[in-house]
Amino acid sequence: MPVIIRPATAADVPPILSIVNRFAEMNVMLPRTEDSVRQTIADWLVAAHDEDPPLGVPVVVGCGVLVPLTEALVELRSLAVHESQQGKGLGGVIVDALVQRAREQGYAQICALTLRENFFVRHGFELVDRWSISPKVWQECIYCRKFHRCDEVAVLMDLIAQPPSAPVVGAGAWGSLLKWEEWQPLRLAYRRKSQGEEKESHE
């Protein structure tokens, strides 16, 4: 039964939510809301059966989305494959399609936070310091309930050749992404959040 990779449509929102949130219940990825998926549906790709699938198998069996972090950096997020299609290499096909889309859209780098770093390394990503992807950390991670005990690993791929003297993201690249005066308020917000959680844990 052929499976194709195609851009998602509004009709794909329910199956995307079903696949992603099932894995979120297993605590292996973050949940998504219907509003968040609908608002970003143009950025999603889905793996779908090209013909009517067997009974009990959904039409949409995989998904993934690109989330812009900066003009040069995009994140691959919510990569998920339905249980009926796991072990067939479909996850890698979705990753390759998203990487190609990011390249066509002109991004210089693509990153991801994952529990399966070896999978991404096999597809051309490199392990990097999670804190070096500062836009991701400050835009969303700071609000995640797992922020202080995150077990995800950051991976990164260069989509175009980067001059050695001008990295977009990498070790020690904080200055190229957020200036001191720009990230200090966010750092303060993180400290307040951390102190608040610590206080709650002692009450």
Handedness of CA 107, 43, 134, 25 (dihedral sign): negative
Long-range contacts of 35-42 (CB under 8 A, 24+ apart): 37/13, 38/10, 38/13, 40/65, 40/67, 41/8, 41/9, 41/10, 41/12, 41/13, 42/7, 42/8
Q: Is the pLDDT of residue 37 over 60?
A: yes
% residues pLDDT > 90 (the chain): 47
- Give me the residue label for tokens 């990498």: 170
How confident is the model at residue 182, as a pLDDT? 44
> Please, which pLDDT band fits residue 99 given cuts at 50, 70 and 90?
very high
Q: Report residue 123 CA to chain centroid gap.
A: 15
Least confident stretch, 39-43, 49-53, 96-100, 131-135:
131-135
How confident is the model at residue 140, as a pLDDT? 65
- The total of structural domains in the chain comes to 1
Sheet with 109-114, edge to edge strand ranges: 3-7, 44-49, 60-68, 73-81, 109-114, 153-158, 126-128
Distance CA 14, CA 60 (A): 10
Q: Is the pLDDT of residue 134 over 70?
A: no
**Range ranked top by mean pLDDT from 2-6, 21-25, 63-67:** 63-67
CATH of the domain at 82: 3.40.630.30
Pick the more confident residue, 174 or 120. 120
How confident is the model at residue 129, as a pLDDT? 82
In sequence order, which ranges of the chain are alpha helices (DSSP H)?
A: 13-25, 34-39, 90-104, 117-122, 134-139, 174-177, 180-202
pLDDT tens track for 50-96: 877 766 668 899 999 999 998 999 999 999 999 988 899 999 999 99
- Could you write out the DSSP letters of every residue in 139-175? HTGGG-TTGGG---EEEEEESS---TT--SSSTT-HH
How confident is the model at residue 167, as a pLDDT? 47
In contact, 16 and 63? CB cutoff 8 Å: yes
- Residue 194: Cβ within 10 Å count: 13
How confident is the model at residue 166, as a pLDDT? 45
How confident is the model at residue 40, as a pLDDT? 97
Amino acid symbol at 26 = M
Boundaries of domain holding 67: 3-202
